[in-house]
Amino acid sequence: MAADGSTIPLASTTDFPMRFLPEDHVADRPLWAWLTVAFAGCVAPAGALVMTHDPRAAGTIIAIGMMGAGMIAAASAGRFAVGVIVALLAGAGLMLLARALGLPALHAPAGAALAAVVASVSFAARGSLFARSAAARGWWIAVAVVAGEAAVLLTAAVMPGAWPGWVLALLPAQWATLALQAALTGTGAQVASIAMLALGGTAAATLLVAHLWPRRWPYLIMFTTWLALSALVWERWSAAL
């Protein structure tokens, strides 16, 4: 008999692992979170495109913008689909801006669309995992990850050789850069397919971890997948350099 006199038995909290719904993961400071999404996904990369006017930098800037928009949005909303949509919108807007600033016509429009979709899914998957693992503060982790990867890629762009190539090959943002740059300008086309495979593979592994949370063993699958795909990207990329 329950404590309130009811004859309906109460469910035990130990009967099954606690599973959080996405709605439990909205950002603790939603206004700041979404302002950060706008800055990282739109304002900062748009400003970078305006200042550089360099087609060779477009892939990096668009990839960083999509990462900031998709990852932080997914972590802020606690919704994978929101991250994908926001990343795609950011990518489309930045590509249009790049064209308006003088970027030549897309080398492979279908390839650009496919690369944008795969990259958006990958970035949003990581954001949704942060929402699952850190709840309302997951977007803070997303901001830190975006800032770290962006700093590495921008440093490498400004000072070639500052980072070893194998370090860059570990970063999903670099994978997205390789895939997008190939579609935008045709540069490094032989690496684009393996970069998109890496983005898709890590997205699947990350979504598995998020789905099975709070179980921790899937992290082993995710990290193993990430390292293996990073090695494949580096092997193909280093051969193409």
Determine the 3-state secondary structure of 197 from DSSP. Answer: helix
Query: Can you tell me the distance from the alpha carbon of 201 to that of 24, in angstroms, rounded to the nearest whole number?
Result: 27
Taking the model in full, what pTM does it have? 0.87
Digit-coded pLDDT (tens) for 157-179: 888 888 999 999 999 999 999 99
- According to DSSP, residue 41 is labeled I
Domain ranges of the chain: 22-240
- Is residue 45 a contact partner of residue 65, using CB atoms and an 8 Å limit? yes
Digit-coded pLDDT (tens) for 54-70: 777 889 999 999 999 99
Residue type, 209: V
Tokens at residue 216, please? 């921790």
- According to DSSP, residue 107 is labeled S
Tokens at residue 145, please? 């990850």
Q: Which of 20-24, 36-40, 85-89, 155-159 has the lowest mean pLDDT?
A: 20-24
- C-alpha distance from residue 24 to each of 17, 20, 28, 78, 222 (Å): 16, 6, 10, 8, 24
